[in-house]
Structure 1
Amino acid sequence: DEIGYFEPDNNGILRFNSIKERIPEKYRSLEDVWDIEVIDSTVYFRSVNKIYSINPASTDVYDPEQSIDFLKKCGSELYFNCAKTGLFTINEGEPKFVENSQLFIDKLIVSVVQLDNQLVVFTSDDGIYVNKDSRFQPWNNTINQFFSNKEIITAELTADQHIAIGTALHGIFLFNSNGLAIQQLDKKSGLQNNNILSVFSEDEGGIWIGSSNGIDYIINNNKRYIFPDGEQEGGIYDIAVHNDQIYFATNNGLYFCKWKSTYDPLSFEGFKSVEQSSGQVWGLDTIGNTLFMGHNEGGYIIEENKAKKITQDAGYWRFIGVDNNTKVIAGGYNGLSLFERINDEWRFIRRFEGFSESSRFIVKENEKRFWVAHPYRGIFQINFNETYDSIYVRKYTEKDGLPSMLRNHVFLVDGLPVFAGESNIYRYNNESDSFSIDKDFEALLGSKDRVLRIFQDPEKRIWYLTENDFGYFEKDKNLLSTQLEKVSLPKLADKFVNGFEALHFVENGHIMLPTESGVIQVLNAGQTNSTIPQAVISRIVLLNHKDSTIYGGYVHSNQSTSPLITGLTKFKYTQNSIRFEFFNAPFSQGEEYQFNPYIEGIDENNSNWTEEAYKEYARLPHGNYTFTLEARNKKGDIGPVSRVDFSVEPPWYQSQLFQSIYVIMFFLFISGLILIPRSKYRKQVRVLKGVQEKSDDEIMQLKNEKLESEINFKNQQLASSMMHLVQKNEVLHKVKKEAERLKKYVNEPQAEKELRKLISLLSNDERLDEDWEKFTYYFDQVHTDFLRRLKSQYPKLSPKDQKLCAYLRMNLTTKDIAPMLNISVRGVEISRYRLRKKLELEGDKNLNDFMMNY
């Protein structure tokens, strides 16, 4: 429910512009828009029951209040049909009834064309009519009878004044202006579907076809598709014309029909099968007045469209006449055989001994020398004796100049054999009995693509088939030359039967190409229609951005070219991945251009021709660039060059602002090189001093810890010594007590005297005093003159008090001290109390802490 037009913006991208607002509001419900036509500056379009006309000055709506079948421009006039009224034309903006067109009331008109100044009207299922002397009458009774059971959907006048009629189920039919059927195009001919919905003819001759399955294009209508075996659509292996009949060798047998360069699809009787020929047919050769057929079952001749077997064994490929065509050399599955015409009958004479290789690729150099190429066993020279009784065979391999034993083929060019190997074309040198590369063919075809076949047509043109190309060279004076014109037909290169490539030449430059499914007849294949190519950029796309089309290839009506193409285009650094796309050759030329796109300084090779219609550049460095595009056609003609100047801006970190920042940063860096080391040195000095101080503290701490450890060790030794003394004194004290007890029971004076001596020795006061003196000496050494300082400050302390002070300094418990002082625990507590008094300690001070810190 929309109507409008597309118009390119300044970047060549199409933008939609609606014109619906131009339509009066009551008519804006368009439903479906079926036909759009333009006459001068006025646009006409049809909905189901209305016709709208819009021009810059006004908008008009014609409402006949009934359905409208079609709207079509024919010449300078516009026609439409009302179902209940008849045919109308629009003249000076007003509908005008076409005289006597009431004939078409309740008839569905699908199209009109202007042919030889006469209006031809096409109905869906009521025939075709022509307006003569203001009256409508059937255009051609034969044609109307033919279409009586076929529904016509559309019709169009082509650029060559032919009429193309599209049908619902039968494809397209082409007629000339006299009503003669020229061709039928349907699914068998390559269309996607037989249900044709629309036809459009180009001024250049091409025909666009809209079908239920998609869009097809017919290039100059120069192809015919032939299926000799009908619905089987088998592979075709050879073609021959003999006695006004054309024969097709298929994998389903041999088929024929009467030979014509064109066939009327309305009256063509179809192909017939040759009797006794069913099965795989390999080849057809005309020798004299006889047509020979190589067949999987053996060798045959064709007489009165019947196959007659002339061999006893199976498997024959080709037949070549010798001795004024009275004899035939046949190449078969198992070597070579001789046939001879005796009493008007061809008879098998012999199989030649000494050679049993399959001989599918065989050519005749002269009456006595043949060449056989085997795809994987080498090349053989076959020499016959004078009477064709025996042969001499010479085998050639890599030792004789061939590239290898594989993929070898032999062909005739100007009656001389040429040989194709895995690479290049070779010639045989009779003097050296070896092979060498043919420099002329190498210059023409190169050495990259392997040559599959070489053909020569009646006009002496050389046709070639490589792995990637097919075409021909114009031949001049029977000599090859690098100046020959090369004409490439690459779209046909992949149509041949793989391994059995063949080509049949018809008069007027037509060729017939056997394929895996039927035959393609190409009209005027040997005529070039190339024009000077135009190198035109169709689109520029940024690869690393969404909505990335920056140039769409279209030009506004008031511009000759887009300013984006003629000016300097600037891209940000983030837009440095770019894709350029190119317009290819027009469809009507039936060829594809080759392109040479490059940027100086980026592409290493400025002569890299390719068939790819685009070129991508990823991550271009910043700078100024010129993209150059060249195009050439299949003849090698190079047209005008297209160029686009553009620049990629530097990344943000290389802009002028950041360059200034970099200068400032550089000076800051230099300053940093001077100032930072100084600051770092001072910091390191401070750190080292701190480390040294910390080390001194740690050393002092370690010394103190060591000293404390030594003191603890000495204290332990002193305590141990004191305990030992205490234990010894306790023992002595017990012995003394026991001696005093025993003295009571001794009556002898002498014995009593001895006991008193013993008791005197055991008196521990003196011993304890002596031991104490030693103890104080060592104790003051450990505890920095503790006792000496204590006696000096507190002279009133008794020896017993001093001992208690020493034991408290050693951090001994009350329980440990009691035995050392030879008193009870209670006695120690009382001694501690008295000591506090003598030291004049306050009540909140701890006696142990005082001693430890004194």
Structure 2
Amino acid sequence: MGSLKSIFYLFITFCHLEGRIKEDSLKFTFKCILAFLVFLQHLSPVQGQVKGIGLPSITNYTKTEYQSGTQNWDIDQDTNGNVYFANNNGLLQFDGSTWRTYKIPNSNNVRSVKFDPSSGRIYVGAYNEFGYFESSEDGGLSYVSLIPKILESKYRSTDFIWNIHLFQDEVIFQSFGTVYVLKNEKITPMPAEGRFQFSYKAEDKLYFQEVTKGILEYKDGRMFALPGTNSLNSYEIWGIFSLEDDTLLIATLEAGLFIHDGQHVYPWNTEANQFIKNNSSLGGVKINEDLFVLNSVLGGIVICNSKGGVVQQIDLKKGLKNNTVLSSFLDNSNNLWLGLDNGISYLNINSPFTYFSSSLNLSSVYATVVHNENLYVATNQGVFYHKLNGTFKDDSFRLVEGTATQSWNIQVIAGELICANNKGALVINGNKVSRVLGHTGYFGFKEIPGLPGYILGSNYGGFSLFKMGPRGIEFQNRMDGFYNSSKDFEMDADYVWLLRDQFLYQLELADDLQTLSIKKRHTSLNGDGTGINTLKKIDNTLYFVSENHFYSYSKELDAFREDLVLSGLFKGLPTINSVAKDTHGNLWYTYDQSNEIGVLMKLEGPGYTNVLEPFSNLTGNLVFNYLSVNTIDPNNIFIGLINGLAHYDSQFSKENIARPKAFIRSFSYGDQTIVQGNPQHKEMEYGLPYANNNVSFTFSSPDFESGKNIQYSYQLEPFDKQWSIWSKQALKEYTNLREGTYTMRVKEKNSYGVESEPASLTFTVSPPWYRHPFAYIGYFIMGCLIIYLIRLQVQAKIRKNKYYETIEQRKLYLEKESKIRIEQYRLEKKIQKLNKEKLKTKILAKDKELVNNSLQVVKKNKTLSNIVQKLKEMDIESMNEETKSQLTTLKKNIQKEIGGNSWKDLEKHIKNVHFEFLKRLKEKYPHISPRELDLSTYLLMNMSTKEIAQVMNISNGGVELARYRLRKKLGLSRKENLSGFLMNI
């Protein structure tokens, strides 16, 4: 129960709660000692690591979660910690994180399961089928039937296999009609004379119920009847347990419990027997030499001791998913699994924590206190109480009459039990409210230092004053001057301190105790603007806490001074929200936004040890800003939760708490998944092609007690340089790994802070073909070949360059020669062009000269024509013949001179002279006619209308008409000069 020091502390604490110790009152002292002994008797954990106070943590799994059948008939566990259930839909496996169902051929309704640690096989029995599962190459479980090993065909129809036993070097399968013995891979059937009901292994002995012979013991391949057990033939036996002195405890379905002393059978008239008679038995499991679990049809389970006393009774009302318990099993962590008629339940019975929750009428707990042998609990639904000398296993907490509303606090002040309630300040006496001190809602009460008998209460509208009087605590007056409410207030010898909305109010109490006035409002304690987290009185000194720094107030200096000793204790811890010191010197604190709890446990010598891990299961369940810890003694600590009360035994033995195991449960790459953690699985090295260099791992741990608080840390060597931070994430992926050999390592930490040994998996990623060693050899050969070829190419290039150099020189010579020839040709062409232009110039000059001459000829002809005309006008009649003849000859000669091609030649020479002009005019005005081109040329030569008429052989009016048409084609107006326009073309 703890050291003498702990007992003394508990005695002093309990007596102080009852009243002040009076040295002259032996009666009162004796009463305290007696109450303490009774309290000690009922709060101490029972033998065998099963606590008799409170209910264990219960985790229920529904068929929706495990995705299989409803009924679970049998349970077992392998050496890796995986739990197996004989489910009516197959073999159900749970590794702590993942559920898997394995089917068997022809019959999925599995009734029994047994793991054989020597072979790693998982034996199962179903309807007309039994066999075993073993690990396949990929680590999964594959089924092997044993029916083919039964040589006689009449025994191959087995009906249901209800039980499987590992007995000595045999595996025994029991059905109603036949027992099948597997030894050396051969099966020997043993038929029943009547009917085998069930079979059970107790210690190192194996028993069968034969409905015509009673209970038979199996030894050396034969059955031997136990004397006096025929009286049980009419009952169904569902459990046999060994007791001391070679006696057997026999559990029947409906008749109750019986004892067999070796010769006779008689009823076990105990509390446990009455429970079984009322609820019917479905077997059970032995926890240790003193404790048993008994399953029932109607009432869940009971845990009873070897004397028949019920330690705990747990049913549907107290947290189970179903009241019909088909099977029970104690795992390797000494915690309890229950196979239900509809679901599975896990009971953490091997834990320092038990709970009082809504099943026992408790809700959110704000405070607890022990008074007059009762445990009082302030909740959001009122104040509840329970007798300390009563049993907690069946009874619920009872409501204190008159408190059925929000109750913020429950305290013992000056020997009286007072409750801070939504209805007011309530004085409680026993199981009801005896007096109501005002009807304003209250948060709590403090005795005023230096003023004995005076009490200050914080209410919804400020503060009120109370005083001890003849009738006990009495209301005095409402305090004026300050009307803000707050639950967080404390008092020292000079001031009232109140924490509200991140402000610390320093209030002065008037001498007449009628008024509270604000002296100062503080926003920080050291001037750096850091907020104030909480305030608390520790060892009669008021401390103000900011970011884990503890300060006290000095009135003389009017300043806050840091307590370096206390601050040093909390250095390096998470930032705390609240802190409290219990009667044993332990410093409890809450931290983080999720309101987690920890404790600095006082050592027997100087110093403290920080304890965090055991309380991880309470994370998220604490009432925010209400630290409620009531330390009765190291074995009995009550912690308030949002759904009841936790009972913590700080000295609960950790010997039965096994070191956790971690598994790399699956390893996936490409479309392959390797399962690990199943029995028979062998460590292997896995080779991965480079195309599958994206890998993923899942982790598991059969640490069912820690549940959601399991944390993993992993390291992929040599990829990760160090272990990862602890995380609840059970999946890790890596992508684009380079070729090489990798080792994945993972470890687990449970809620007690215990780490597992690392689990490991080694695999090799093959390089891509272009980085394979053979590829590098090929690269080397190719490189040598390339160098050789380059050398040949260089040599050839040198020869080629020399050849091309010769060719280039020849080419340059030829090019120079060609350039000379081209230049010579160009010069010749230029000379020819010059000569041509010169000739053209000469011809043009000649043409111009000819034009001029032609014009002169035209003029001459004109003159001659005039002469001829004159001659024609002469009167030749008067002339003699000779004169006529001479005149006629003259006229002919003149006309001959006028004829000829003078005009045509003139026209030809004019076109030659004005060729460029005619070309430009034709390009600019393509629709102009040849006659108009001639007219344009004559106009350009500034010839008169008459001359043009003569040249063109038209009249003067025709020339004017031609000029008009030319203007129109050229787009000229009347005002524009035609000759000037033509000269500008």
Q: Does 1:462 align with 2:587?
A: yes
Equivalent in the alignment of 1:75: 203
Q: What residue is the counterpart of 2:572 in the other structure?
A: 446
Deviation at 1:766, TM superposition (A): 8.0
Residues 1:345 and 1:455: Cα distance change in structure 2 (over 3 Å): closer
Specify the code of the residue in structure 1 equivalent to 2:591: T
- Residue 487 (structure 2) aligns with: 360
How far the C-alpha of 1:424 sits from its partner, in A, is 3.1
Total equivalences in the alignment: 723
Shift of 1:326: 1.9
Distance across 1 between alignment mates of 2:168 and 2:378: 56
Name which of 729, 733, 738 aligns with 1:621. Answer: 738
Would the alpha carbon gap of residues 407 and 517 (structure 1) be closer, same or farther in structure 2, given more than 3 Å must change?
A: farther
Answer yes or no: is 1:118 the counterpart of 2:247.
yes
Distance 2:664 2:275 in 1: 48
Flag the 1:678–1:149 CA change in 2: closer, same or farther, 3 A. Answer: same
Q: Secondary structure at the match of 1:80?
A: strand
Select the residue among 745, 752, 774 that pairs with 1:657.
Answer: 774
1:632–1:749 Cα change, 3 Å: same
Among 91, 96, 99, which residue is 2:227 paired with?
99
Residues 127, 552 of structure 1: CA spacing in aligned structure 2 closer, same or farther, 3 A cutoff? same
Would the alpha carbon gap of residues 776 and 250 (structure 1) be closer, same or farther in structure 2, given more than 3 Å must change? closer
Q: Tell me the C-alpha RMSD between the 2 structures.
A: 5.1
Q: Which amino acid aligns with 2:474?
A: R
Residue 53 of structure 1 is aligned with which of 174, 181, 192?
181
Q: How does 1:477-516 map to 2 (within 5 A)?
A: 480=607, 488-516=614-642
**Which amino acid in the other structure matches residue 671 of structure 2?**
K
Q: What is the match of residue 825 of structure 2? A: none
Task: Report if aligned partners of 1:530, 1:635 keep a CA contact under 8 Å in 2.
Answer: no
Match of 1:373 in 2: 499
2:293 paired residue number: 164
Judge which range, 575-584 or 236-245, deviates more: 575-584
Other-structure match for 2:478: 351
Q: Distance in 1 between matches of 2:143 and 2:564?
A: 60
CA distance in structure 2 between the aligned counterparts of 1:659 and 1:95, rounded to whole angstroms:
73
- Which of 656, 664, 685 in structure 2 is aligned with 1:539? 664
Residue pair 1:229, 1:271 contacting (<8 A) in 2 also: no
- Residue 390 of structure 1 deviates from its aligned partner by 5.0
Over 3 Å counting, the alpha-carbon distance change for 1:76 and 1:255 in structure 2 is same
1:552 to 676, 682, 692: 676
| Structure 1 residues 591 and 773: CA distance shift in structure 2, 3 A | closer
What is the deviation of 1:238? 2.3
Asked whether the 8 Å contact 1:598–1:628 carries over to 2, the reply is: yes
Offset at 1:678?
A: 6.5
Q: 1:179 offset after TM fit, Å?
A: 1.2
Q: How far apart, CA to CA, are the structure 2 residues paired with 1:274 and 1:505?
A: 23
Equivalent position of 2:166 in the other structure = 38
Deviation for aligned residue 1:648 = 4.5
Counterparts of 1:162 and 1:750 in 2: how far apart (Å)?
185
Kept in 1, the 8 Å contact 2:315–2:322? The answer is yes
Residues 240, 403 of structure 1: CA spacing in aligned structure 2 closer, same or farther, 3 A cutoff?
farther
Q: Is the 8 A contact 1:485 1:635 kept in 2?
A: no
C-alpha distance in 1 between matches for 2:630 and 2:473:
26
Q: CA deviation at 1:299?
A: 1.0
Go from structure 1 to structure 2 and tell me whether the alpha carbon gap of 1:513 and 1:532 turns closer, same or farther (over 3 Å shift).
closer
The offset of 1:415, in angstroms, is 3.9
1:206/1:747 CA distance change after superposition, 3 Å: same
CA shift, 1:490, in A, is 0.4
Mark the CA change 1:479 to 1:530 in structure 2 (over 3 Å): closer, same or farther: same
Amino acid at match of 1:651: P
Q: 2:466 aligns with which of 339, 352, 365?
A: 339
Residue aligned with 1:488, SS: helix
Distance 1:228 1:586, change over 3 A: closer
Is 1:408–2:533 an aligned residue pair? yes
Partner of 2:349: 219
**Residues 13 and 419 from structure 1, CA distance in 2 versus in 1: closer, same or farther, beyond 3 angstroms?**
farther
Gaps of 5+ in 2: 1-106, 108-128, 816-821, 823-864, 878-886, 916-985
Match of 2:378 among 237, 249, 253: 249
Query: For structure 1, which runs of at least 5 residues remain unmatched after alignment?
Result: 697-738, 780-854
What amino acid does structure 2 have at the position aligned with 1:652?
A: W
Does the 8 Å CA contact 2:292/2:306 hold for their aligned counterparts?
yes
Q: Which residue of 2 aligns with 1:21?
A: 148
Residues 1:140 and 1:41: Cα distance change in structure 2 (over 3 Å): same
Instruction: Please point out which of 599, 620, 632 is paired with 1:472.
Output: 599
- Compared with structure 1, are the counterparts of its residues 642 and 138 closer, same or farther at alpha carbon in structure 2 (3 Å cutoff)? same
Counterpart of 1:285 (choices 411, 422, 429) is 411
1:741-761 CA-partner distances (Å, limit 9, x unpaired): xx9xx9998899899899979
* 1:229 to 1:280, Cα distance in 2 relative to 1, 3 A: farther
Map Cα deviations across residues 370-424 of structure 1 (whole Å, 9 max, x no partner): 54333x2322345546775555655564443388686732234444444455x43
Q: For the structure 1 residues 305 and 162, does the alpha-carbon distance in structure 2 shift closer, same or farther, using more than 3 Å as the test?
A: same
Cα distance in 2 for partners of 1:140, 1:437 equals 63
Distance 1:316 1:764, change over 3 A: farther
SS of the residue 2:474 aligns to: strand
- Secondary structure of 1:286's counterpart equals strand
Partner SS, residue 770 of structure 2? helix
Assess if the C-alpha contact under 8 Å between 1:326 and 1:340 holds in 2: yes
Pairs within 5 Å for 1:616-695:
617-623=734-740, 648-666=765-783
TM-score w.r.t. structure 2 length? 0.62
The 5 A counterparts of 1:750-769 are none
Greater length-normalized contact order (CA 8 Å, ≥ 6 residues apart):
2
Matched residues in 2 for 1:478 and 1:314: separation? 47
Give 1:319 shift. Answer: 1.6
Distance (Å, rounded) in 2 between the aligned partners of 1:315 and 1:759: 157
Partner of 1:707: none
Distance 2:400 2:751 in 1: 41
| Structure 1 contact 228–248 (Cα < 8 Å) conserved | no
Q: Is residue 472–residue 487 contact of structure 1 (8 Å, CA) maintained in 2?
A: no
SS in 1 for 2:535: strand
Residue 666 of structure 1 and its aligned partner are, at CA, apart by 4.4
Cα gap change, 1:105/1:433 in structure 2, threshold over 3 Å: closer, same or farther?
Answer: same
Letter paired with 2:773? Q
2:552 pairs with 1:428? yes
Indicate the SS of the match to 1:410. strand
- Residues 272 and 304 of structure 2 are in contact (CA less than 8 Å); yes or no, is this contact kept in structure 1? no
CA shift for structure 1 position 301? 0.6
> What amino acid does structure 2 have at the position aligned with 1:475?
K
Alignment deviations for residues 551-581 of structure 1 (CA, whole Å, 9 cap, x no partner)? 7245759xxxx554xxx77655455555566
Q: Which residues in structure 2 correspond to 1:728-747 (within 5 Å)? A: none
Structure-2 residue corresponding to 1:810: none
Q: Which amino acid aligns with 1:104?
A: L
What CA distance in whole angstroms lies between the structure 2 residues aligned with 1:387 and 1:478?
A: 47
Deviations 1:586-614 (A, max 9, x none): 54689967655435664355584445566
